[in-house]
């Protein structure tokens, strides 16, 4: 079956994820996480993609990216994947593929969904049992967004800036939201849209996105849906699905 075409609208934020074949060894040591963060920073500058949230996990990585052109995200992810695999192969004398398939991406309505998706991403280490609190995890954007500890990678979207009139109030407001577990229905919808590659947001957002991309709204949706044993019921681990 041919792959479903994917569209990336300049200026629209996207939830992007890449999963590893072995869901426990994408990152083996602290130096691996640090090196991947350097590649993230480099790719952000090279392809003019702003990073608004991220989490590096043993099973892969989650990002919120805002590209300035339609090719930004594919080039960003291709560069990141190539550089990190090359590093990992050299560091551990390995060979072969690291990733399960091409990355997944879902356009999101920043006005209503950027903060919830950021929360989803930064809470993954807690959800997966790596730490008790999001601030205890070193390899995510939580400390930047919630505590004001700059990581040199994360930039703030307008939706984030509207949380408060100054940085202290924004951090406090963001932390109040980010520290709370999300409702299962919210988790399911974020994961559904990411897995299927469909937009997350209101009907108006989806219609406007179709206009920006100059496509029919139906073009943004695949001709398949989840099976009953799909990722809705699997929140205890990451959930790579067939491309």
CA 31, chain centre distance (Å) = 21
- pLDDT at position 7: 72
What is the three-class DSSP state of 180? Answer: coil
- pLDDT at position 101: 78
> What does the alpha-carbon distance between residue 16 and residue 63 come to, in Å, rounded to a whole number?
5
Given a contact cutoff of 8 angstroms between Cβ atoms, the answer to whether 39 and 84 are in contact is yes
What is the three-class DSSP state of 155? Answer: coil
> What does the alpha-carbon distance between residue 208 and residue 181 come to, in Å, rounded to a whole number?
31
Question: Which residue reads 């043993």 in tokens?
Answer: 58
- pLDDT at position 53: 97
Residue length of the chain:
243
- pLDDT at position 4: 56
Given a contact cutoff of 8 angstroms between Cβ atoms, the answer to whether 49 and 66 are in contact is yes
Nearest-10 crossing angle of helices 184-196, 110-127: 100
Give, for all 243 residues of the chain, the pLDDT tens digit: 445 556 788 889 999 999 998 767 799 999 999 999 999 999 999 999 999 999 999 999 999 999 999 899 999 999 999 999 999 999 999 887 888 878 999 999 999 999 999 999 999 999 999 999 999 999 999 999 999 999 999 999 999 999 999 999 999 999 998 888 899 999 999 999 999 999 999 989 998 898 888 887 777 776 554 444 444 334 344 654 444
Q: Name the pairing type of β-strands 14-19 and 60-67.
A: antiparallel
Q: Is the pTM of this model over 0.75?
A: yes
């Amino acid at each position: 079956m041919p792959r479903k075409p994917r569209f990336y609208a300049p200026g629209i934020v996207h939830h992007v994820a890449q999963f590893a074949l072995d869901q426990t060894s994408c990152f083996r040591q602290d130096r691996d996480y640090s090196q991947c963060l350097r590649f993230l920073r480099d790719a952000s500058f090279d392809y003019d993609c702003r990073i608004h949230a991220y989490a590096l996990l043993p099973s892969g990585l989650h990002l919120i990216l805002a590209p300035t052109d339609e090719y930004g995200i594919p080039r960003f992810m291709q560069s990141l994947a190539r550089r990190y695999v090359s590093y990992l192969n050299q560091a551990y004398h390995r060979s072969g593929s690291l990733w399960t398939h091409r990355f997944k991406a879902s356009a999101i309505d920043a006005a209503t969904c950027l903060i919830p998706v950021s929360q989803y991403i930064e809470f993954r280490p807690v959800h997966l049992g790596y730490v008790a609190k999001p601030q205890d995890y070193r390899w995510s954007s939580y400390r930047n967004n919630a505590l004001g500890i700059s990581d040199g990678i994360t930039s703030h979207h307008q939706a984030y800036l509207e949380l408060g009139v100054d940085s202290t109030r924004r951090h406090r407001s963001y932390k109040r939201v980010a520290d709370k577990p999300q409702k299962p229905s919210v988790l399911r919808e974020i994961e559904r849209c990411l897995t299927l590659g469909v937009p997350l947001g209101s009907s108006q957002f989806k219609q406007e996105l179709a206009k920006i991309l100059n496509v029919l709204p139906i073009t943004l949706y695949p001709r398949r849906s989840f099976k009953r044993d799909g990722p809705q019921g699997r929140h205890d681990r990451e959930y790579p699905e067939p491309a």
